[in-house]
Amino acid sequence: MIMILIGPPGSGKGTQAQRLEQRLGAVHLSTGNLLRDEIAAKSSLGKTAETFMNSGQLVPDQIAVEVVAEHMKRGEPDTDYILDGFPRTTNQAEELDRILEERGLEVGTVVEIHTNDEVLMERLTGRFACANCGEGYHKSFKRPKSDGVCDKCGGVEFEVRSDDREETIRDRLGVYHSETAPILPYYAKKGLLVRVDGEKAMGDVTKEIETILIDGR
């Protein structure tokens, strides 16, 4: 099964992918996380990607496609994937079809997590994560059970993403509407696209996606 989560920054792609990966026995593949790993490793790919990411722009298609293709090559051929943040342009969508075809696979379901921009700004300016294990939190919607201590690993250091500044968030939202939203018709034409309401509570969004998968879409 190859499932794609598409939605604007802050719509909950990462949150939902984390919640679904264990339940579905699938691998969560986030291009944003893979690129941040490259930046942390100070690779040449990471250095190129960093400039684009810090200014809220998409990295060139060739880089995004390369990280996905490399990651998939290392996995077992029958691995199930939840793709979070890829594809983000029509060119990437076509490249994904090509990568999957080589492996005898195809996209199964594309879930658009629809959320209005005002809600997203509040979510992204309140987001932080454990610096040790990466578990995500929010200052209003998802606080650690014990203040200042990560629920998952007990870490006490937290970090805020460098692209979660208000001005950069506006740029990221603009890029979503101009470059990523136009790929929705590509999947609608293939009969693969379903939309969920990303403004519902996290658990309700998860249930809605699970229902879609059980219904075989």
Question: What's the closest the beta carbon of residue 26 comes to ligand AP5, in angstroms?
Answer: 16
Query: Is residue 13 annotated as a catalytic residue, yes or no?
Result: yes
How far is Cα 7 from Cα 129, in angstroms, rounded to an integer?
Answer: 20
**Binder among 3, 4, 6, 58 for ligand AP5 (CB under 6 A):** 58
Q: 170 Cβ partners below 8 Å, 6+ apart?
A: 56
Question: What's the closest the beta carbon of residue 190 comes to ligand AP5, in angstroms?
Answer: 19
- List 103, 142, 161, 165, catalytic entry: 161
Question: What's the closest the beta carbon of residue 65 comes to ligand AP5, in angstroms?
Answer: 8
Closer CB to ligand AP5, 173 or 193, in the complex: 173
> Which residues are registered as beta bridge partners of 142?
138
Sign of torsion over alpha carbons 41, 159, 59, 66: positive
- List 19, 36, 123, 127, catalytic entry: 127
Question: What's the closest the beta carbon of residue 98 comes to ligand AP5, in angstroms?
Answer: 15
Chain residues binding ligand AP5 by CB under 6 A are 7, 9-15, 30-32, 35, 52-53, 56-59, 64, 85-86, 88, 92, 123-124, 127, 136, 138, 141-142, 163, 172, 198, 201-202, 205
